[in-house]
Amino acid sequence: MTHPPYLHPDYASTVLRAPSRPPLQMKEDPEAAELTGPVFGRGEVDPLDADLTAGHAGEPLGERIIVTGRVLDASGWPIPDTLVELWQANAAGRYAHQRDQHPAPLDPNFTGAGRCLTDGEGRYRFVTIKPGAYPWRNHPNAWRPAHIHFSIFGTAFTQRLVTQMYFPGDPLFAFDPIFRSIPDPAARERLVATFDLDITEPEWALGYRWDVVLGRTPMEDA
Amino acid sequence: MTTPSQTVGPFFGFALPYAADWELVPEGHPGAVTITGRVFDGAGEPVPDALLELWTGEGGDRGALGRGGSGVSGFGRCGTAPDGSYRFRLAPPARPYAALLVFARGLLKPVWTRVYLADTPDPLLDSLDPVRRATLLAQAEGQGVYRFDVRLQGEQETVFLEF
């Protein structure tokens, strides 16, 4: 099983929010609205939105990184022109969000939100800084491994995916109930980016590669 | 080898909402309807940090992200307020329903449901008993306003869908 279950009590917030009934399996309907999805135009996304280190008075603190990869469908075909959004904590592990109370410093030169459209080969590319790990109140001494949140549309509402990308070798994986909510250890690894020297740019930024494979839409099963 | 889902978490508010995200049509659009309601958890408490996305199935001629100007979009997004409330302003959909997705902290994957604006013969509605059916029916409140609450868990739990 690829996806986590709704109820995963080690992640305390699921206890009152997980539906108690299994979702209703829809019968095949070629007219279903969910088999299509919104299309985003080039004119709606500013190319500068893919550089999270830009747009402020100065450079953000932290380890500059490039995160790139491809968005693919379940058959391995690239999905061009689809919207990819991301958000993250700063290098100190603090979100630019009013409800984040972690006593780590905000960075006036880093907001931590970006978006882009995939190119003709389904490729996205962001420049950002490596986010820090941060504590949360799920259980005593709970810390989230460093991660970047991703939101990806695909071509159908049924493919809609929000997930988190992690960094290789994080010692917090073993203790994180959100990462470990995915039952299959091999599937968890699909959320871990790969360090890539070919993406790394000399004297400038470390490179990470992370491909995303969206789920099948029902009509493709035929 | 599908990429697994993870929760949207509590801190998307500075990143995912955008200007006029809930306005699939601009204010004053002829015939526009508003769908509004609240999201509740299994204790009946409002969910103040959910993100909802609505899709009518029709792309339209208004930007889904860069709104600007007139026209109709088929896509909208709305984060819930502290009382768990949300709203969308849209043109009446071509289908009897609009598709609705709910993301939240505590949801390791989103829930898919449908907002039916009319109680009409329909393969999905007709497959449900009256109590479950009622969870998918928006209640007309007059002046083009429809109320649709989402109950994530419990006796009146909304019918959620898998495709």
For B17-56, the pLDDT digits (tens) are 999 999 999 999 999 999 999 999 999 999 999 999 999 9
Please say if A147 is a catalytic residue.
Answer: yes
Please judge whether A163 and B3 are an interchain contact, meaning their C-beta atoms are less than 8 angstroms apart: yes
Say if residues B12 and A147 touch (Cβ distance below 8 Å).
no
Q: Which residue of chain A is at minimal alpha-carbon distance from B42?
A: A16
The position carrying tokens 């598709």 is: B99
Closest approach of chain A CAs to the CA of B13, in angstroms?
7
Please say if A6 is a catalytic residue.
Answer: no
Whether A100 has its CB under 8 Å from any CB of chain B: the answer is: yes
Say if residues B65 and A83 touch (Cβ distance below 8 Å).
yes
pTM of the model: 0.97
- Taking the C-alpha atoms of residue A188 and residue A82, their distance in angstroms, rounded to an integer, is 24
Query: What tens digit of pLDDT does each residue of A3-42 get?
Result: 999 999 999 999 999 999 999 999 989 999 999 999 999 9
From residue A200, how far is each of A36, A137, A203, B113 by CA, in Å?
36, 35, 9, 42
Spell out which residues of chain B touch residue A122, defining contact as CB-CB under 8 Å: none
Using 50, 70 and 90 to split pLDDT, how confident is the model at A219?
Answer: low
For the record, the structure tokens of A135 come out as 């504590």
Closest approach of chain B CAs to the CA of A200, in angstroms?
24
Query: What tens digit of pLDDT does each residue of B66-119 get?
Result: 998 889 999 999 999 999 999 999 999 999 999 999 999 999 999 999 999 999
For the record, the structure tokens of A87 come out as 């958000």
Say if residues B109 and A4 touch (Cβ distance below 8 Å).
yes
User: Is residue A210 classed as helix, strand or coil in its secondary structure?
Assistant: coil
Q: What is the ipTM of this complex?
A: 0.97
Residue length of chain A: 222
Say if residues A35 and A28 touch (Cβ distance below 8 Å).
no
Say if residues B114 and B99 touch (Cβ distance below 8 Å).
yes
Query: What tens digit of pLDDT does each residue of A155-193 get?
Result: 999 999 999 999 999 999 999 999 999 999 999 999 999
